[in-house]
Amino acid sequence: MSSEVHIGLVVRGHGRHYVVEREDGTRLNCLTRGKKSEAVVGDRVRWARSSEHEGVIEGLQPRRNLLYRQDEWKTKSFAANLDQLLILVAADPVFSESQLTRALIAADSAGIDARIVLNKTDLPGAAAARQRLEPYRDMGHEVLELSLKAQPQASRDVLQPYLQDRATLVLGPSGTGKSTLINLLIPDAQAQVGEISVALNSGRHTTTTTQWYWLDAARRSALIDSPGFQEFGIRQIGAAELASRMADFRPLLGQCRFANCSHRHEPGCRVLDAVQSGVISASRYRIYDELWQELNSTPHW
What fold characterizes domain 6-60? OB fold (Dihydrolipoamide Acetyltransferase, E2P) (2.40.50)
Q: Tell me whether residue 30 is annotated as binding.
A: no
How many whole angstroms separate alpha carbon 300 and alpha carbon 152?
45
Task: Return the amino acid letter for 171.
Answer: L
Q: Tell me whether residue 32 is annotated as binding.
A: no
For residue 53, the model assigns a pLDDT of: 82
Q: CATH 3.40.50.300 in the chain: give the residue spans.
A: 66-225
Q: CATH 2.40.50.140 in the chain: give the residue spans.
A: 6-60
Q: Tell me whether residue 74 is annotated as binding.
A: no
For residue 299, the model assigns a pLDDT of: 58
pLDDT per residue as tens, the chain (301 positions) = 557 899 999 999 988 889 999 999 999 999 998 777 789 999 999 999 888 789 999 999 999 999 999 987 788 899 999 999 999 999 999 999 999 999 999 999 999 999 999 999 999 999 999 999 999 999 999 999 999 999 999 999 999 999 999 999 999 888 899 989 999 999 877 645 555 555 555 444 344 578 999 999 999 999 999 887 777 899 999 999 999 999 999 999 999 999 999 999 999 999 999 999 999 999 999 999 999 999 998 654 4
Q: Tell me whether residue 207 is annotated as binding.
A: no
Q: Tell me whether residue 254 is annotated as binding.
A: no
| Region 66-225: CATH code | 3.40.50.300
Q: Tell me whether residue 111 is annotated as binding.
A: no
Q: CATH 1.10.40.50 in the chain: give the residue spans.
A: 239-296
Q: Tell me whether residue 179 is annotated as binding.
A: yes
Q: Tell me whether residue 202 is annotated as binding.
A: no
Q: Tell me whether residue 178 is annotated as binding.
A: yes
Q: Tell me whether residue 180 is annotated as binding.
A: yes
CB of 181 closer than 8 Å to CB of 170: yes
CB of 168 closer than 8 Å to CB of 215: no
Q: Tell me whether residue 262 is annotated as binding.
A: no
How many whole angstroms separate alpha carbon 141 and alpha carbon 136?
5
| Region 239-296: CATH code | 1.10.40.50
Q: What is the pTM of this model?
A: 0.90
Edge to edge, the sheet with strand 222-225 lists 143-145, 113-119, 84-90, 167-171, 222-225, 211-214
